[in-house]
Amino acid sequence: MSSLQNRQFKLTSRPVGLVKRSDFEFATSPAPQPGPGEVLVKVLYLSLDPAMRGWMNEGRSYVPPVGLGEVMRAGGVGRVIVSNDPALAVGDYVVGITGVQDYAVAKAGAFTRVDPRLAPLPRYLGALGMPGMTAYFGLLDICDPKPGETVVVSGAAGAVGALVGQIAKIKGCRVVGIAGGPDKCRYLTEELGFDAEIDYKSEDVPKALRQHCPKGIDVYFDNVGGEILEAALAQLVLKARVSLCGAISQYNNIEGIQGPRNYLSLLINRARMEGFIVFDYAARFPEGVKAIAGWLAEGKLKAREDIVEGLETFPETLLKLYSGENFGKLVIKVADE
Amino acid sequence: MSSLQNRQFKLTSRPVGLVKRSDFEFATSPAPQPGPGEVLVKVLYLSLDPAMRGWMNEGRSYVPPVGLGEVMRAGGVGRVIVSNDPALAVGDYVVGITGVQDYAVAKAGAFTRVDPRLAPLPRYLGALGMPGMTAYFGLLDICDPKPGETVVVSGAAGAVGALVGQIAKIKGCRVVGIAGGPDKCRYLTEELGFDAEIDYKSEDVPKALRQHCPKGIDVYFDNVGGEILEAALAQLVLKARVSLCGAISQYNNIEGIQGPRNYLSLLINRARMEGFIVFDYAARFPEGVKAIAGWLAEGKLKAREDIVEGLETFPETLLKLYSGENFGKLVIKVADE
């Protein structure tokens, strides 16, 4: 096994604003040997997530920051090629935190087996992975949408947003998606069945929200923060629920985060804004996976991945998230299955 | 009755920034005659509330704005002097929306009878009135504080804040109050039994919160908004609850409201920020009044009113709220009982 060469992206400086290639060291070294109870996994696909930007910052958050000199944290799907634990066999496909590298070593229990016959492997990083669980629990558990209610979701063509909107449709809601550009917007209404779409790159979002939500907004699922959050808060109805999933518009702000200047809309409307972290629902992931897999199988839910080839593209591919260039769940293909 | 002269403050322009006397017309006219089913009430005490500033603004809120040319809205306690409804007798003391004037006419059902033998009349505008209900439901219903939790309240020496902190103590919480000036701060810990006080006028609030809330903040009851809200959000613990009651620091802002720049603390901490309006709890007011009256009778709760003499002082007396000069529930005494 010593002949296996492991390419790794190690974080070497804390990015200021947008991530740069020079914030990482991209080096090759021999793949590590798994110890007792450990497995060696060959990484096939890596998940690129908006939250990665936050993991690179110092300071308190819901997970510790990636340390300087450490391999950049990432979820991935791979194949077990050495196993020192009977729980996993060579040839098994698994999902887990692999890091941005070709080979990952960890305790067998750190990985979950997945079945490539039930779904394409990248989907375990999307609809059947963290984005799916995020959409499922962040919408249903935090917002409890009722049939007939108006649900607005931002980042609506992204990995989480597209699922949020579709799940809200399944629950009988009127769904308005906010996304950037005509292709993504068309996708929301024509492919995913959203009731209306708003192109934040070309439309006046406050005006479009008033138009498409004539009765106001009952549920707002926020992936983006900034001015779109403010526009949504301005249209809340009584007892509205706002789910704070992310704030991708703000992650690369050098001047600091923009707070919602109209947060008192929560007071006037007796509304609620609540944050959540998907990992808190780990014990209920089987419920979420079962529901989403069922809807996928019935054709009620569509999943889409945006696959970029090559581990070496990591820094530039990650930037696609923040410029809004990705279309569906953004994944790097590291190696052939 | 035609000899009764009624002094009235009518709103004549929408204030910009702080309220000025010139935003009102202060004029005298004969007191109105009550029609069928109506009563004429001689106003004895008027309630001065931070929310009044918002009622003077145009635009959508939880109540319609006071119209230009209309008598300024205010709650008050008075004595029935003419009654055309058997539900109220001449001599009854009542509480209701009287407006900033000497005499109010309304349907008998718009008033609630109060008993001056059970509590001093001004208390029906404070602990036994809207501030009491606001504290009771805004703390217990929105935040559900548990014994041992840390509760922080801003505007802590005000009509609502002082009750919030004392109710939290009754519920077994550790209570930290934020107020302005040494007299108010001493009152919190020495008279009301708060565990710690922070003087926002002389202390570094973020630092003091870290010191007095070593385990972080479980519940934050916000009366003030602005930088104190930001400081509190920064110290939230997992699953914290923030009750949005008001934002007195922002009501007179000409530049617009400052949104909490660190609202993503809600996300990281899976925390919740929720607004409420006391009127929504109207059906449950008897429960709140019974609880607070009981605690007052048992000596577990102290109430304090800050009484200013003279209807004619209304504009200047109102400003005491925004400069923080009031100490306890701010009331204008309009006439002798």
pLDDT at position B241 is: 98
Tell me how many residue pairs between chain A and chain B have CB atoms under 8 A apart.
107
Pick the residue from chain A with its C-alpha nearest to B224. Answer: A264
The arithmetic mean of pLDDT across residues A250-258, rounded, is 82
**What confidence category does residue A318 fall into, taking pLDDT thresholds of 50, 70 and 90?**
very high
Tell me the helices (H) and strands (E) count for chain B, helix number first.
9, 15
Look at residues B297, B294, B296 and name the one whose alpha carbon lies nearest to residue B286.
B294
Under an 8 A CB cutoff, do B259 and A257 touch?
no
Among B220, B235, B267, B268, which would you mutate to test the A interface (most chain A Cβ atoms within 10 Å of its Cβ)?
B267
Among B245, B254, B274, B276, which would you mutate to test the A interface (most chain A Cβ atoms within 10 Å of its Cβ)?
B274
pLDDT at position A248 is: 87
**To 5 degrees, how large is the angle CA A179–CA A182–CA A187?**
70
Cα gap A50→A72, rounded to integer Å: 14
pLDDT at position A18 is: 93
pLDDT at A62 over 90: no
The arithmetic mean of pLDDT across residues A82-100, rounded, is 97
pLDDT at A257 over 90: no
Pick the residue from chain B with its C-alpha nearest to A263. Answer: B259
Under an 8 A CB cutoff, do B274 and A276 touch?
no
Nearest to A270 among B230, B270, B280 (CB): B280
Domains and CATH numbers, chain B: 5-126+304-333 (3.90.180.10), 130-279 (3.40.50.720)
Q: What is the pLDDT of residues A171-219, one digit of tens each?
A: 999 999 999 999 999 999 999 999 999 999 999 999 999 999 999 999 9
Among A137, A244, A267, which would you mutate to test the B interface (most chain B Cβ atoms within 10 Å of its Cβ)?
A267
The residues facing A198 across adjacent strands are A178
Cα gap A88→B266, rounded to integer Å: 38
Our CA-based measurement puts residue B169 at a distance from the nearest CA of chain A, in whole angstroms, of 25
Nearest to A257 among B256, B264, B270 (CB): B264
pLDDT at position B2 is: 55
The DSSP element (H or E) to which B31 belongs, if any, is: none
Q: In B, which residues are within 8 Å of A280 by CB distance?
A: 270
- With an 8 Å Cβ cutoff, the interface of chain A facing chain B consists of 60-62, 225, 230, 244-247, 250, 256-277, 280
Nearest to A266 among B244, B261, B271 (CB): B244
Cα gap A124→A164, rounded to integer Å: 17
Cα gap A188→A5, rounded to integer Å: 42
Please give the DSSP secondary-structure letter assigned to residue B287: H
pLDDT at position B249 is: 87
Burial B7-38, CB ≥16 within 10 A → b, else e: bbbbbeeebeeebeeebbeeeeeebeebeeeb
Under an 8 A CB cutoff, do B266 and A274 touch?
yes
Q: Which residue has the higher pLDDT, B256 or A64?
A: A64
Among A227, A272, A278, A281, which would you mutate to test the B interface (most chain B Cβ atoms within 10 Å of its Cβ)?
A272
Under an 8 A CB cutoff, do B259 and A259 touch?
yes
Under an 8 A CB cutoff, do A245 and B263 touch?
no
Q: In B, which residues are within 8 Å of A262 by CB distance?
A: 257, 259
Nearest to A268 among B261, B274, B275 (CB): B275
pLDDT at position A2 is: 55
Under an 8 A CB cutoff, do B259 and A256 touch?
no
Q: In B, which residues are within 8 Å of A256 by CB distance?
A: 261
The DSSP element (H or E) to which B162 belongs, if any, is: helix B159-170
- What does the H/E/C string look like for chain A? CCCCEEEEEEECCCCCCCCCHHHEEEEEEECCCCCCCEEEEEEEEEECCCCHHHHCCCCCCCCCCCCCCCECCCEEEEEEEEECCCCCCCCCEEEEECCCECEEEEEHHHCEEECCCCCCHHHHHCCCCHHHHHHHHHHHHHHCCCCCCEEEEECCCCHHHHHHHHHHHHCCCEEEEEECCHHHHHHHHHHCCCCEEEECCCCCHHHHHHHHCCCCEEEEEECCCHHHHHHHHCCEEEEEEEEECCCCCCCCCCCCCCCCCCCCHHHHCCCEEEECCHHHHHHHHHHHHHHHHHHHHCCCCCCCEEEEECHHHHHHHHHHHHHCCCCCEEEEECCCC
pLDDT at position A256 is: 78
The DSSP element (H or E) to which B241 belongs, if any, is: strand B236-244
Under an 8 A CB cutoff, do B264 and A225 touch?
yes
Say if residues A175 and A168 touch (Cβ distance below 8 Å). yes
Nearest to A257 among B246, B261, B271 (CB): B261
Under an 8 A CB cutoff, do A267 and B247 touch?
yes
Among A61, A264, A269, A278, which would you mutate to test the B interface (most chain B Cβ atoms within 10 Å of its Cβ)?
A264
Classify burial at A36, counting beta carbons within 10 Å of its beta carbon; exposed 0-12, middle 13-18, buried 19 or more.
exposed
Nearest to B262 among A257, A264, A276 (CB): A257
Q: In B, which residues are within 8 Å of A269 by CB distance?
A: 62, 275
**To 5 degrees, how large is the angle CA A154–CA A269–CA B61?**
115
Say if residues A294 and A170 touch (Cβ distance below 8 Å). no
Under an 8 A CB cutoff, do A246 and B267 touch?
yes
Cα gap A262→A85, rounded to integer Å: 54
Q: How far is CA A220 from CA A139, A293, A324, B264, in A?
A: 9, 24, 20, 15
Q: What is the pLDDT of residues B186-197, one digit of tens each?
A: 999 999 999 999
Say if residues A69 and A49 touch (Cβ distance below 8 Å). no
Low-confidence stretches of chain B (pLDDT beneath 70): 1-2
Our CA-based measurement puts residue B280 at a distance from the nearest CA of chain A, in whole angstroms, of 9
pLDDT at A150 over 80: yes
Q: The tokens 């001065």 sit on which residue? A: B48
Our CA-based measurement puts residue B127 at a distance from the nearest CA of chain A, in whole angstroms, of 22
**To 5 degrees, how large is the angle CA B75–CA B78–CA B82?**
125
Under an 8 A CB cutoff, do B271 and A274 touch?
yes
